[in-house]
Structure 1
């Protein structure tokens, strides 16, 4: 299939927790404005970026998505980019999880286009607690000190270490995707240090894509909720209880979207911070990344010094403990929020049932059953 002259595709492949949700929310909120300037950002879910990422990683079972729903998603996106011409931006942090052996086949669908790879990166001192918390949101129950001992083991032999570094080893991800492209088409965008202007990451990202950053509106609310240690403790307890039951794969999406982003987000307890004792180890890893990045000649938007560990002052210790009373009080608040959510969903279902006939009524009953199953205690 022929492509429009000058068509370009920018693949934003991660890393997770490096401002990806912020950038994606900004791209999504300004999709129409960007389209007017010749930049296409796909916003659909089905057959969209999420399904394309699941197809390339082969991890659709873990997300409870049938293979037939993701099959052909990546090819479909690439064909649309080819037909549209101009500039296309594909952004999903799960792309960082694509194996090196699978990258050539993924890029083959973009043959004939000007392909660029973008990797956003934040310093490890902030990445470690963010990734630990994300793991709890997705079903783990480790304390932060346990997580650190596993992922920072020199041999990286533990399963948690393997998973962490597969989508957090900055130099490896750049090489994994970038070895098939010329260095000037491989871009590292560094996350600004704490205290920098909120839109600086967006400005750096736009400088790579070739978009005027002032043409977009920055969303007011972030797309990813950071939790205090009490909320994480409650969530870890819920995860352990769910594992004892017959929890379907898609349940973790419900946990993250409803329990985390709605019921637990009001928690005001301390956030954990990386221990100062780990700084020398993190600086050693970062220095090796910088050496490899400079040797490869990749383009850098920002400053490589931004990758040096930035410790957050204060915060909870890595081996923190949460009192049962604090967890109980927050859990009660969460139950109240979830109760209201269930009541609202059931009211919506009843309204749909009252207005529906025939096949539509059957669909409403099926929805009611799914709602009941979602909130049923294991």
Structure 2
């Protein structure tokens, strides 16, 4: 039986009071704060939530293209650029929920470039019915995960060099200006408070020691029965090990150096080699993880402490312990001889993923004769030509 009330099934002793029925809950991330797990759980429970008056209007787990379009972001390297049509589709899906409670989640909303864009997002998703939710984790935990994600999008800079640029080289915008736009969390929250006011912003501090705690918090906010939201295993979203990331980073150097088409990177590397490697290989206890130097972890903790103080004074609703934002995670001591070595089977799976992606585009025509033989062609030029040919084949699907 469906109902427009989101509170009937909720135990009275819950610590988190649910939002008003009819709220349009907008979860803006930011990145690496449990967003993918949450989106997977919401999408998997879409039909069950609807029976309790809560709609998940997006037709996919993550309406990424819509968020990228409204925030004027280009998307992932090599992917087609999202258009206003993606955003207009999501707006229509949200509007179709009528007076029922609904929830939309994309970490790319945290990339909104200015107050005008934020105001547009809020107005078109429901105006004063919109309640903004921000999930936060300690910066020291976010930084290694965010770096390897940037590498998956073509970054060529090593981790310690990247940390130097992000923490020690003003204006801290190179090579990834999006990082502090997303992860200077106090300023992120202040931008959205200017659009909706502090009474319509909730901050959830994720406690990594409480597995499932984020799901329970969302259930309480949406007035859903406890344990309705369950994490969906997603090997494709796992973080890369240090060896895997370094292999990919070195590939990025070669890819850029030979000026290959970005679409080729998207097809063969991101959705071919990397995706298959993630799905086929599970890191073991002997794999070296990405480790943040002590100086960087302490610098991140200092920024987190300052952010926590400003968030606490902003008047927004806070669920969880803001002190966690200034925590310096304890890292297990790595063996003295630990080196980031890629296992042969992992390399094989990555290579197979790229070959499988290429094989999905069959050859439809013979290669025309060339005025020079392969042996007479410089290797850099040869790589570039082969890359363009491979891309043409992929486009013929």
Shorter-chain TM-score: what band? 0.7 to 0.9
Separation in 2 of the partners of 1:303 and 1:82? Answer: 35
Tell me the secondary structure at the aligned position of residue 145 of structure 2: helix
- Residue of structure 1 in register with 2:239 after alignment: 226
* 1:31 counterpart (46, 55, 66): 46
The aligned counterpart of 2:5 is none
The equivalent of 2:321 in structure 1 is: 303
> Alignment partner for residue 53 of structure 1, among 64, 67, 72?
67
* TM-score normalised by structure 2 residue count: 0.76
Displacement after TM superposition at 1:316 (Å): 6.2
Out of 213, 234, 237, the residue aligned to residue 200 of structure 1 is 213
Q: Secondary structure at the match of 2:272?
A: helix
Residue segments in structure 2 that go unaligned for 5+ positions in a row: 1-19, 365-389
Moved over 3 A (4+): 60-67, 110-113, 220-223, 249-254, 264-268, 320-323, 326-330, 336-343, 369-374
Find the counterpart in structure 2 of residue 259 from structure 1.
Answer: 273
Residue by residue over 1:189-242, the C-alpha shift from the partner in whole angstroms, topping out at 9 and shown as x without a partner, is: 11113x32x211111233333323422333134551211111111111221222
User: Which residue matches 2:4?
Assistant: none
Number of residue pairs matched by the alignment = 343
Partners of 1:214 and 1:34 in 2: how far apart? 12
2:285 is aligned with 1:241: no
* Residues 110 and 61 of structure 1, relative CA distance in 2, 3 Å threshold: closer
Structure 1 residue 373 corresponds to structure 2 residue 394: yes
Q: Map 1:98-137 to 2 at 5 A.
A: 98-101=112-115, 102-137=117-152
Gaps of 5+ in 1: 351-368
Where in structure 2 are the equivalents of 1:145-224 lying within 5 Å?
145-153=160-168, 155-160=170-175, 162-193=177-208, 195-196=209-210, 198-221=211-234, 224=237
CA apart distance, 1:42: 3.2
In 1: Cα distance, 2:128 partner to 2:25 partner: 10
Tell me if 1:96 matches 2:117: no
Shift of 1:337: 4.8
d(CA) in 2 for partners of 1:316, 1:141? 25
Q: Among residues 347, 352, 355, which one is paired with 1:331 in the alignment?
A: 347
Residue 333 and residue 267 in structure 1: after superposition, are their counterparts in 2 closer, same or farther (change >3 A)? farther
**Corresponding residue of 2:371:** none
Higher radius of gyration, 1 or 2: 2
Superposition TM-score, scaled by structure 1 size: 0.79
How far has the Cα of 1:174 moved from its partner? 0.8
Q: 1:152 to 1:334 in 2, by over 3 A?
A: same
Alpha carbons of structure 1 residues 251 and 80: separation in structure 2 relative to 1, 3 Å: same
Change (3 A) 1:236 1:64: closer
RMSD: 3.2
| DSSP-derived class of the 1:42 partner | coil
Post-superposition offset of 1:250: 7.2
* Secondary structure of residue in 2 paired with 1:129: helix
Residue 274 of structure 1 aligns to a residue whose secondary structure is: coil
C-alpha change, 1:339 and 1:49, in structure 2 (3 Å) is closer
